[in-house]
Structure 1
Amino acid sequence: MTDPAHSSTFENAIAVTPVNANTYSAHLDPAWCIGLVPHGGYTASVLYRTAVTHFARKAAAASNKGGKPVLPQEPIALQITFQRRTFAGPAVLTVQEIKRGARVSTIHVTLSQARDEAAASTKSPDDNKDLEVKVLAYITLSPPEAEEGPAVRGPWDLSPAAAPGSLAGGGIDFKVLAETGRDGEWEIGPVAAPTLHAAKHLRAYGPAATLKPKTVTERAMQMVEQLSQFAPGGRVARWTNEAVMYLVDIFPAALDRMGAMEATRVLRATGTRTETGSDEKVAPAAGLVQFWYPTVTMNIDLKSRLPAAGVEWLHSRVVTRMVRGSRADLEVLILDQEGELVATSTQVALVVDPARNVKGRTAKGSGKL
């Protein structure tokens, strides 16, 4: 059997199993966690797969009844709210059909788990009592066949332009970049820290200038972009629509930038640095102060479906406009090698103590953000 384009490793991690007409089970994989908490983009991939599976079953059921053919539908937009911390282990996904249409459908999906890891370990796999909702999502779907045809583009382009590669006109030699880790101004980024399990499935490359040590102010102001290969379990695979969900929430350099912005806010609030930052010392890219960044909300708009065979490279640009009260905004653009827009995402994240993601949750803790 041929492995899917995004690898059998990722396929197993996002697998969902039908329980009844509107309920599915999944197992959130510890290899896709940040600390002890499943990564938000990985969780979005599980939600995406749930939606695809649900509508594929509906289409198959209609076909078996001999009625009017129903086209399978795939997500075109997701609005996700992370209510409570999830954990690696069993999860139940419940689908409520808000609207089923021939052109556009909408479902509401809840991801539920036991209140804490200890409670989950004592429950039977079939016992769905006393679960609490961890993640809520509204997912809009449309049949891929309904969106065939040429795209009409507005007067938009990346501004400023992406960092150049070694080819004529600033093009990137992706073969050289993959083999040597460097091409033009691009080079491979640092290895993920041991507790950042989810980040180990990504090979991220950035402009060399953004990977060098900088002052806090320079890091807070830098533009963040990355070229990425998908590498589940450390082996290069290909980006698929499900894997794009993971990518919209994985950007190491952007987290460093948010950390620098929060460090600036904290230092100014405590009066320990000047407004100009002239008294700053050079700090490594890992960050002057260590923080963590739990996602509160995530909106994803899928502009172009990737081919079934997937693609090897995707380009991300990430902008954070303000950190206020330890709450940050993120805008993410995902493009393919030809500069075609694949997805956009807007997110709200908190900047918090990193201990939050490396401590287990007990029944006494609320688990809320």
Structure 2
Amino acid sequence: MSFSVASAVRPLGDGTYTASLPAEWTVGPKPHGGFLLALVARAAVDSARAAVPGADDLAPLAVSSQFLRAPEVGPALVRTHVRKAGRTATVVTSTLEQRGRSCVEASVTVGRLPTAPPDYADLPEMPAAPPADAIDLASMGAGGVYKLGAVCDVRLDQKGAGFLNGRVGDPLVLRLWARPLGERPDPYFALVAGDITMPVTFNLGRFGWSPTVQLTALLRADPAPGWLRVRVSCSAVHGQWFDEDAVVIDSTGRLVCQARQLALTPAT
């Protein structure tokens, strides 16, 4: 199932949308966090377009989300409320619910993505395409854990990913390349890319479920066709709490997404 089809939302006419959380867009048994972020952002943008007539070119600019509980694969509702409608920025709250319980709550700032070249950008250096020996994450989906690898092309740079060889102590920095299968990346897929990596704490030997608690993503441009380059890093691990910063760059070298999350790593 393509990303655009899988993440579609269907309006009911009162700011409420129906959605389906497909089994293909999961890690383990649970829907992928970046996919959920894209889904609530789609509903928010559609709601903003209804509130700002003639604004068909609106897109998410910022998505700040709280992950309250992990939803299950299957049907879900997204409830939106326009908090402010403006010519430059519209603010919409967007909540994904399942079985009457809130799972993801987000505040989405909606506007028009810049199209002019940036006046300043300080970005990590990464090649536009993955190296020949990059690991296809579809091959790491043993037991059906990483189902995302069947619907996205995701490659991991072996350099610095010491956990691949049982090594502990590498810096908590990973480099990946990602693109959806069968279509070009868009701003919503850039949200997925900002959360597409395995936890950087794998390099500490901490494996297992690492749930996101809070994630904020900034969209900076509409991605060009081709690979999205993703650099993920961590500043600190305190007990089970750790941060993860992702910088997403498109095939032309332009910044398209920045994401920062607070997450929990398995106890040692």
> Which TM bucket (shorter chain)?
0.7 to 0.9
CA distance in 1, matches of 2:217, 2:265: 21
State the match for 2:168 in structure 1. 216
State the match for 1:81 in structure 2. 66
Q: 8 Å contact 1:55–1:72 — kept in the other structure?
A: no
State the match for 2:185 in structure 1. 239
CA distance in 1, matches of 2:57, 2:252: 28
User: Tell me, which stretches of 5 or more residues in structure 1 are unaligned?
Assistant: 1-7, 63-68, 115-130, 163-170, 264-288, 354-369
SS at match of 1:258: helix
Larger Rg: 1
* 2:109 pairs with 1:140: yes
CA distance in 2, matches of 1:148, 1:342: 11
Give per-residue Cα distances to partners, 1:256-308, cap 9 Å, x unaligned: x40332x4xxxxxxxxxxxxxxxxxxxxxxxxx531111111100111123xx
State the match for 1:350 in structure 2. 264
* 2:201 pairs with 1:291: no
State the match for 1:335 in structure 2. 249
Q: Alpha carbons of 1:74 and 1:334: their partners in 2 closer, same or farther (altered >3 Å)?
A: same
In the TM superposition, 1:249-328 aligns within 5 A as 249-252=195-198, 255=199, 257-261=200-204, 263=205, 290-306=207-223, 310-328=224-242
CA distance in 1, matches of 2:96, 2:173: 34
CA distance in 2, matches of 1:304, 1:348: 24
- 1:157 is displaced (CA, Å) by 3.5
Select the residue among 108, 111, 136 that pairs with 1:189: 136
Select the residue among 19, 30, 40 that pairs with 2:33: 40
Q: Alpha carbons of 1:33 and 1:152: their partners in 2 closer, same or farther (altered >3 Å)?
A: same
- 1:70 is displaced (CA, Å) by 4.9
State the match for 1:94 in structure 2. 79
CA distance in 2, matches of 1:137, 1:296: 12
CA distance in 2, matches of 1:239, 1:189: 18
TM-score, structure 2 as length reference: 0.88
Q: 8 Å contact 1:51–1:74 — kept in the other structure?
A: no
Query: What one-letter code is carried by the residue in structure 2 that aligns with 1:224?
Result: L
In the TM superposition, 1:157-168 aligns within 5 A as 157-158=123-124, 161-162=125-126
Q: Alpha carbons of 1:20 and 1:238: their partners in 2 closer, same or farther (altered >3 Å)?
A: same
CA distance in 2, matches of 1:31, 1:332: 23
* 2:114 pairs with 1:152: no
Q: Alpha carbons of 1:149 and 1:325: their partners in 2 closer, same or farther (altered >3 Å)?
A: same
Give per-residue Cα distances to partners, 1:13-56, cap 9 Å, x unaligned: 11111112211111111111222211100101111211222233
CA distance in 2, matches of 1:340, 1:248: 15
User: Tell me, which stretches of 5 or more residues in structure 2 are unaligned?
Assistant: none
What percent of counterpart residues are identical? Answer: 22
Paired residues, number = 262
- 1:198 is displaced (CA, Å) by 2.4
Q: 8 Å contact 1:199–1:250 — kept in the other structure?
A: no
SS at match of 1:217: coil
Q: 8 Å contact 2:24–2:151 — kept in the other structure?
A: no
State the match for 1:106 in structure 2. 91
- Which has the larger helix fraction? 1
Q: Alpha carbons of 1:337 and 1:192: their partners in 2 closer, same or farther (altered >3 Å)?
A: same
- Which has the larger strand fraction? 2
CA distance in 2, matches of 1:205, 1:196: 13
- 1:72 is displaced (CA, Å) by 4.7
Q: Alpha carbons of 1:343 and 1:56: their partners in 2 closer, same or farther (altered >3 Å)?
A: same
TM-score, structure 1 as length reference: 0.65
